[in-house]
Amino acid sequence: MQNLLEMKGITKVYPNGVLANDKVDFSVLPGEIHALVGENGAGKTTLMKVLFGLETPDAGEVYYKGQRLQVSSPLHAISSGIGMVHQHFMLAPSLTVTENLVLGAEPRKGLAFDWNTAIKTVEDLSKRYNLHVDPRARVRDIPIGMRQKVEILKALLRGAELLVLDEPTAVLTPQETEELFVALGELKRQGHTMIFISHKLNEVRQITDRVTVMRGGRLIGVRNTSEVTEADISRLMVGRDVILKITKSPPTPGKKVLEVKDLSYFTTEGKPILKDVSFNVRAGEILGIAGVEGNGQSELVEILTGLRMPHAGLISISGQEMTSASPRQMRELGVAHIPEDRLLHGVAADASIEENLIADRIQESDYTGKIFLKSKAIAENGQNLVGEFNVVARSAKTPVKMLSGGNIQKVVVAREFSSSPSIVIANQPTRGVDVGAIEFIHKKLVEICRSGVAVLLISADLNEVMSVSDRLLVVYGGQIVAAFPDASVVSEEELGLHMLGIKTQEAALLKEALA
């Protein structure tokens, strides 16, 4: 069979000198679901951006249906029949599903927008592909899973034959993922071709026909999915065997380090984001908070670390009341924080690694005299931490922006873990980092916890929150809806149902578990 898409010798270098794609040859057969896997920074997204006209390659050619294709813009790609479903949805939240779908290609009646035809188009399309959406609902009111369907329909409406799905399941619950896979199967049956980018190898195994593995900007291999195991793929991705199973000793809970009581937070319009949240974290235990992103976790973490003021409730650290304390005061009591967005909060990307590693301790007498900084001590701190935390970099003086995502995260982890914390608050600590770094960060979290530090782990990644945590809470709609005293006995399905708000634990039971 002839290839539908062929990318030959694609090379892309970013202005900072990162070789994102190195002579990559990538091809897709018509009608298949083709997985594109690799660690973060392996070059998958860059390759797809080249295909979609978002990046111009420095070398290489693209052939689509046997014809040379020079994509200069996404519009061009769309008109050629290539559609992309981005990881972060490109939708206007205040518009309805229908309006979002026909945006830019609105049916008209005279000069006016033909609302009825638009609705009909959407309904027909949705029926044809078995992707159910509510055409009249506003996008901001529909769940994530449905938003994604809107994204897929948007591409289909514009005549996409080849669909690129960039980590489509990253934001979905297990149930929503199942639903998505059924829909993708239907698309395939109707003759569409899909490129499926993912980190989750079980999903790759489940729905794809072939898999292309990338590592360090290069194409490592193409396999028929049915002929390889997950272990094979991960070995190709990382270049060595990875142990994803975490071994940890049983927890030894000590004193309560963090106590949260009836914490509430509202938006400026008065919409509740957090409602009466109460829980404790003890020294020597890892408390996990699972939940689909956007259920109040970000606000909770920002309140606990002093970056945001709560509207009601109490926070105590090691017995001291610290509600509405500043980040400085929180840090002085040993609150370490791994933020969910490392580039926004975690680092100053233009500063060097060693400068980033002293941001929280610059006022300490180890690093500054009365007037001048102790540059020797700062350099030593940098070198030691870079070594201890396996940060791959030319030196500790390298600007952080030159590092890969996983190594930037290691810089953040190194700083926070070396601050001699009493509690580590880790918010999505392994999001968007490669398998090797995930393994490392998990190991470090368990290690520091067992040395007597309290750990609060907030994560939307079920595997992570289940395997790392000792105890587990589920947050939904700004409330804690379930508590499990032993994380190791909870099933993924059970957790998923709570995360979606379908199941709720009884209030009395919950109260007891949280006391």
Partner 1 sequence: MISRELIFEIGRTLIAILLALLLGFVIILLVSEEPFEAFGHFVTGPLTTTRRIGNWIEATIPLIFTGLAVSIAFQAGQFNIGAEGQLFFGGVVATIVALSFPLPMYVHVLVALLGAMVGGAVAGAIPGFMKAKWGANELVSSLMLNYVFYRLGLYLINHHFRDPAAGAMVSYRLPETSWLQWFWLPTRVHWGLWVALAAIAFCYLFVYRTRWGYALRMTGLNKDFAAYAGISVTAVIIYSQVISGAIAGLAGAADVLGLYRRFQWQMLPGYGFDGIIIAILARNHPLGVPIAALFLAYIRSGASIMSRMTDVSAEMVAIIQGIMILLVTARAFLSKWRHRAVVKEATKHEVNA
Q: Which is nearer to partner 1, 14 or 113 (CB)?
A: 14
Q: Of these, 112, 344, 507, 515, which contacts partner 1 (CB under 8 A)?
A: 344
502 — phi, psi (to 5°)?
-75, -40
Q: Of these, 60, 310, 346, 421, which contacts partner 1 (CB under 8 A)?
A: 346
What is residue 446's DSSP assignment? H
Q: Which is nearer to partner 1, 42 or 152 (CB)?
A: 42
8 Å CB contact between 333 and 512: no
Does 25 sit near partner 1 (CB under 8 A)?
no
What is the SS3 assignment for 162?
strand
Query: Helical H runs in 199-249?
Result: 201-207, 230-238
Q: Of these, 31, 327, 334, 501, which contacts partner 1 (CB under 8 A)?
A: 327
Does 203 sit near partner 1 (CB under 8 A)?
no
Between CA 197 and CA 215 the distance in angstroms is: 14
Q: Of these, 22, 114, 209, 293, which contacts partner 1 (CB under 8 A)?
A: 22
Least distance (Å) between residue 252 CB and partner 1: 30
Looking at 116-124, 161-169, 213-221, 465-473, which segment touches partner 1 (CB under 8 A)? 213-221
Q: Of these, 3, 8, 19, 25, which contacts partner 1 (CB under 8 A)?
A: 19
Residues that bind partner 1 (rule: CB under 8 A) add up to a total of: 47
Between CA 35 and CA 198 the distance in angstroms is: 7
Closest Cα partner for 262 from 309, 315, 308? 315
Residue 342 CA, distance from chain mean position: 11
Does 44 sit near partner 1 (CB under 8 A)?
no
Between CA 236 and CA 378 the distance in angstroms is: 38
Q: Which of residues 408-427 bind partner 1 (CB under 8 A)?
A: none
Least distance (Å) between residue 16 CB and partner 1: 8
Q: Of these, 207, 233, 347, 458, which contacts partner 1 (CB under 8 A)?
A: 347
Indicate the length of the chain as a whole number.
515
Least distance (Å) between residue 15 CB and partner 1: 6
Q: Which is nearer to partner 1, 164 or 357 (CB)?
A: 357
User: Residues near 131 by Cβ (< 8 Å), separated by ≥ 6?
Assistant: 125, 149, 152, 153, 183, 186
8 Å CB contact between 55 and 216: no
Does 103 sit near partner 1 (CB under 8 A)?
no
Q: Which is nearer to partner 1, 210 or 331 (CB)?
A: 331
Looking at 17-25, 225-233, 445-453, 460-468, which segment touches partner 1 (CB under 8 A)? 17-25
Q: Of these, 3, 11, 383, 418, which contacts partner 1 (CB under 8 A)?
A: 11
Least distance (Å) between residue 507 CB and partner 1: 35
| Distances 300 to 12, 303, 468 between C-alpha atoms, Å | 40, 5, 20
Q: Which of residues 355-414 bind partner 1 (CB under 8 A)?
A: 355, 358-360, 362-363, 367-368, 371-373, 375, 394, 398-399, 402
Q: Which is nearer to partner 1, 5 or 20 (CB)?
A: 20
Closest Cα partner for 84 from 135, 172, 154? 154
Angle between helices 144-157 and 115-128 (to 10 degrees): 100
Least distance (Å) between residue 63 CB and partner 1: 23
Between CA 259 and CA 261 the distance in angstroms is: 7
Residue 381 CA, distance from chain mean position: 30
Does 239 sit near partner 1 (CB under 8 A)?
yes
Sequential DSSP letters for 464-509: HHHHH-SEEEEEETTEEEEEES-GGG--HHHHHHHHTTS----HHH
Does 309 sit near partner 1 (CB under 8 A)?
no
Q: Which of residues 281-300 bind partner 1 (CB under 8 A)?
A: none
5 — phi, psi (to 5°)?
-125, 135
Q: Which is nearer to partner 1, 167 or 434 (CB)?
A: 434
Looking at 179-187, 329-337, 424-432, 493-501, which segment touches partner 1 (CB under 8 A)? 329-337
Q: Which H/E stretch holds residue 119?
A: helix 115-128
Looking at 18-26, 144-152, 186-194, 501-509, which segment touches partner 1 (CB under 8 A)? 18-26
Does 18 sit near partner 1 (CB under 8 A)?
yes
Does 319 sit near partner 1 (CB under 8 A)?
no
Q: Which is nearer to partner 1, 408 or 474 (CB)?
A: 408
Least distance (Å) between residue 306 CB and partner 1: 8
User: Residues near 357 by Cβ (< 8 Å), separated by ≥ 6?
Assistant: 381, 382, 385, 396, 411, 414, 415, 418
Does 331 sit near partner 1 (CB under 8 A)?
yes
8 Å CB contact between 264 and 278: no
Return residues touching partner 1 (CB under 8 A). 11, 13, 15-19, 22, 58, 215-218, 239, 305, 307, 326-328, 330-331, 337, 339, 344-351, 355, 358-360, 362-363, 367-368, 371-373, 375, 394, 398-399, 402
